Amino acid sequence: MDYLLESIRAAIELIFAFDQDIQRVVWTSLYTSFCAIALSATLAVPVGVALGLTQFRGRRIVITLLNTLMALPTVVVGLVLFGLFSRQGPLGNLGLLFTPIAMIAGQVVLATPIISNYVLAAVEGCDSRIINTALTLGATPLQANIQLIKEIRFGVMAAIIAGFGRVIGEVGVAMMLGGNIRNSTRTMTTAIALETSKGEFAFGLALGIVLLSVALFVNLFLNLLQQR
């Protein structure tokens, strides 16, 4: 019991002390996750909509593949991209390993299947006559598609929130591709892993509480956007 109480006290102290290291760690987590989700959404929303609206041979196979990719273990993504970004790998010249960009790339790979799947489900769940109605009312195909996305905006938002949850809470990609470098690629999750390895369990758990609070605020913010 003492251990848990101590962690909660340490968490509150950490949040209100505005410790520089903690701020930096929270910031790194937030901006890598936001960049990853922004990139991933621009990629995944069109994919989800296209899959939801079109019929073609092998469509079910593509969907099954996407569903499977949702279960991608983070360390596997980390391993594959490590091989790509390492100096000996095909993209080695760019020197991207152990930088935030490498982490963002890994997170995009993790989030894209989730967002496409959620958007696909939203498109399949909505009335498919929207497009035709919009077209008969004189909308261009692009306008018709935008109308559809407006209609399923709650689904799209749910997709983004789910993707965000996946990337901000994961540790495999951040650790393998970021390297847990202080003031550079140390995120909330890798900091928790580090504190745990140092035996600072209370401090690690306190960071966990900070992470949850940050996630709570981000979700409140997204919620606000959604209601507008």
Partner 1 sequence: MKSILTLIMAASLSVAFTLPALATEHLRLATTTSTENSGLLSVLLPPFEQTNNCQIDVIAVGTGKAIKLGESGDVDVVMVHARSKEDKFIADGYGVDRRDVMYNDFVVLGPVSDPAGVKQTTDIASAMATIAQHHATFVSRGDDSGTHSREKQLWRAAHVTPDGDWYLEAGRGMGEVIIMAGERKGYTLSDRGTYLAFSGKTELKIVSQGDSQLFNPYGVIMVNPLKHPHVKDELAKRFLNFLVSDQAKALITGYRRNGEQLFYVQ
Rule CB under 8 A: which residues touch partner 1? 30-31, 34-35, 37-39, 41-42, 45, 86-88, 92, 95, 97-98, 100, 146, 149-150, 153, 156-157, 160, 179-184, 194, 196-199, 222, 225-226, 228
* Least distance (Å) between residue 95 CB and partner 1: 7
Name the DSSP class of 70.
T
* Least distance (Å) between residue 56 CB and partner 1: 26
Name the DSSP class of 86.
S
Residue placing its CB nearer to partner 1 in the complex, 60 or 202: 202
Task: Give all strands (DSSP E) within the chain, no chain letters.
Answer: none
Residue placing its CB nearer to partner 1 in the complex, 59 or 198: 198
Q: How far is CA 148 from CA 29, 130, 134, 151, 222, in A?
A: 32, 6, 9, 5, 20
* Least distance (Å) between residue 14 CB and partner 1: 18
Residue placing its CB nearer to partner 1 in the complex, 68 or 197: 197
Provide φ and ψ at 30, rounded to 5°.
-65, -50
* Least distance (Å) between residue 114 CB and partner 1: 15
Residue 167: closest CA among 100, 85, 96: 100
* Residues present in the chain in total: 228
Residue placing its CB nearer to partner 1 in the complex, 30 or 51: 30
Residue placing its CB nearer to partner 1 in the complex, 57 or 228: 228
* Least distance (Å) between residue 151 CB and partner 1: 11
Q: Which helix (H) or strand (E) holds 91?
A: none
How far apart (Å, rounded) are the C-alpha atoms in residues 130 and 151? Answer: 9
